[in-house]
Amino acid sequence: MYRSLLLSFVVLTAAPIVHAQSAPASCPALLRHSFNQLQTGEAQSLCRYQNKVLLVVNVASKCGYTPQYEGLEKLQREMKGKSFNVLGFPSNDFGGQEPGTAQEIASFCKLTYDVTFPMFEKVVTRKATDQSPIYTFLGRSGKLPAWNFSKYVVDKQGKVVAFFESSVTPEDPALRAAIAKALASS
């Protein structure tokens, strides 16, 4: 029993697995990776989100901006059935405000904010040798998060079309307009 508990601890606390994958040529470079889902721990290809407008957000459970989860979930539910998804990437880069395990983060998000949008295991957003490939790509836009809850609007072709600092809420008219514009373009 002790051995299985120890193994569970090691599995849950291990660094997230990021898989480069052979993706179809039609899959934008941004999406040519797989990340472990927060809720299940299973690797999921981001290619499943091709041809969708994405709002990519670095999230944290113990941040002053954490209540934005409510607005992000509301946005996800409002846009259900449209070519849109919020994607959450927990990060402990800023103020150590995401210290939990994948299981703890998933439980917090579900129980506190009933989060249903896709969430992935913790990533490094800052420019570093262990920076997540998704943030390496997003950083090519000239912007990297300066704090938790920074937001990127990515169009259906996989290009960053807008960046919003942490203080911009999911309800902000400028953010909503950027999403609507990306949805309207083909």
Q: Give pLDDT tens digits for 172-185.
A: 999 999 999 999 98
In the prediction, which pLDDT does 16 show? 45
Residue with more model confidence, 185 or 96:
96
Q: 164 to each of 24, 80, 86, 133, how far by Cα in Å?
A: 30, 22, 14, 20
Residues in the chain: 186
DSSP H stretches of helix in 46-172 = 68-78, 102-113, 133-139
State the Cα torsion 135-136-139-145 to the nearest 10°.
Answer: 40
Contact of 130 with 124, CB cutoff 8 Å: yes
User: What does DSSP say about strands 84-90 and 53-59: parallel, antiparallel, or unpaired?
Assistant: parallel
Identify the pLDDT of residue 29.
86
Q: Which two tokens stand for residue 90?
A: 């927990």
Q: CA 122, CA 69: separation in Å to the nearest integer?
A: 16
The predicted structure's pLDDT at residue 28: 87
3-23: pLDDT as tens digits: 443 334 333 334 444 444 445
3-state secondary structure of 162: strand
pLDDT of residue 46: 93
What phi and psi, each to the nearest 5 degrees, are found at residue 37?
A: -65, 140
Domain with 49, as residue range(s), is 2-184
**Which pLDDT tens digit goes with each residue over 99-134?**
999 999 999 999 999 999 999 999 999 999 999 999
Count the domains in the chain. Answer: 1
Give residue 186's pLDDT band: very low, low, confident or very high (50, 70, 90).
Answer: low
Question: CA of 133: how far to CAs of 2, 34, 69, 102, 138, in Å?
Answer: 36, 10, 23, 19, 9
Which among 22-26, 27-31, 111-115 has the top mean pLDDT? 111-115
Residues annotated catalytic, as ranges: 63
- The span from the CA of 133 to the CA of 98, in Å, is 19
Is the predicted pLDDT of residue 1 greater than 60, yes or no?
Answer: no
Average pLDDT over residues 150-178: 97
Provide the CATH number for the domain around residue 73: 3.40.30.10
pLDDT-derived band at 79, boundaries 50, 70, 90: very high
Exposed e or buried b per residue across 21-39, where buried means at least 16 C-beta atoms within 10 angstroms of its C-beta:
eebeeebbebbbbbbbbbb
Q: What is the pLDDT of residue 12?
A: 39
| Sheet of 53-59, strand order | 84-90, 53-59, 151-154, 160-164
pLDDT digits (tens, 9 = 90+) for 39-78: 889 999 999 999 999 999 999 999 999 999 999 999 999 9
